[in-house]
């Protein structure tokens, strides 16, 4: 009986250590695995629409552009800590980019937002953590090239045009004013520092 109790406590300790290591790695890498490239949001006031219908129209339009290797899936993201409620997003992934879009009723209106994230490799992150020379070495081994900047811009442009097309289609049919030019522009972050 003591032998069984020994094995149970022994394996329980390994499980606890594994969970602790996972939590530490998640906290360490969560902020560095993805860099914010750009984002956008709008609130269409005095407007009701189905989140599900918006997501279906968005996916259909984005996939119609003929971009090979693109995937779209539903994800449920926490509003805050791991104990907070979750909110449904559509996640579109292509190459090293992740595009998360949220559409939901808010007050009397309908809110739409998206975030384009650039995913870093774990190797690049580990190299960048080397004291004194890590950042320099990561920049030399994983340089920001015109190709990366251009592909991020191309992907963002197609995704944003799909969002705007869906908004234009659904608001025009309901007689709601169109978005202004300023309301249509994404906000770019300077992650491509060269």
DSSP one-letter code for 176: P
Tokens in use for 106? 């808010």
Per-residue model confidence (pLDDT) at position 102: 94
**Domain layout of the chain by residue ranges:** 34-188
SS (H, E, C) 28-62: HHHHHHEEEEEEEEEEECCCCCCHHHHHHHHHHHH
pLDDT tens-digit map of 31-80: 455 676 788 999 988 888 999 999 999 999 999 999 999 999 999 887 88
DSSP one-letter code for 189: -
Q: Are strands 187-188 and 71-78 parallel, antiparallel or unpaired?
A: unpaired
DSSP assignment of 56-124: HHHHHHHHTT--TT-EEEEEEEESSSTTS-EEEEEEEEETTEEEEEEEEEETTEEEEEEEEEEEPPHHH
Taking the chain (194 residues) in runs of 10, the rounded mean pLDDT of each run is 72 76 58 70 89 95 93 87 85 92 93 89 83 89 87 90 93 83 80 49
Cβ pair 150, 157 in contact under 8 A: no
Report whether CATH 3.30.310 matches the domain 34-188.
Answer: yes
């Amino acid at each position: 009986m003591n032998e069984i109790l020994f094995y149970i406590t022994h394996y329980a300790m390994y499980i606890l250590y594994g969970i602790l290591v996972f939590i530490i790695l998640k906290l360490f890498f969560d902020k560095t695995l993805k860099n914010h490239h750009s984002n956008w949001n709008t609130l269409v006031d005095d407007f009701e629409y189905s989140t599900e219908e918006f997501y279906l129209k968005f996916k259909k339009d984005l996939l119609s552009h003929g971009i090979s290797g693109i995937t779209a899936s539903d994800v449920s993201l926490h509003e805050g800590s791991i104990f907070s409620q979750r909110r449904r997003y559509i996640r579109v992934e292509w190459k090293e980019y992740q595009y998360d879009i949220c559409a939901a009723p808010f007050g009397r209106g309908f809110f739409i937002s998206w975030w384009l994230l650039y995913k870093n490799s774990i190797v690049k992150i580990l190299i960048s953590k080397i004291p004194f020379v890590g950042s320099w070495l990561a920049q030399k081994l994983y340089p920001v090239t015109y190709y990366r900047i251009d592909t991020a811009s191309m992907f963002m442009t197609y995704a944003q045009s799909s969002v705007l097309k869906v908004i234009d289609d659904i608001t025009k049919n309901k007689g709601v004013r169109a978005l202004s030019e300023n309301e249509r522009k994404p906000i770019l972050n300077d992650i491509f520092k060269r």
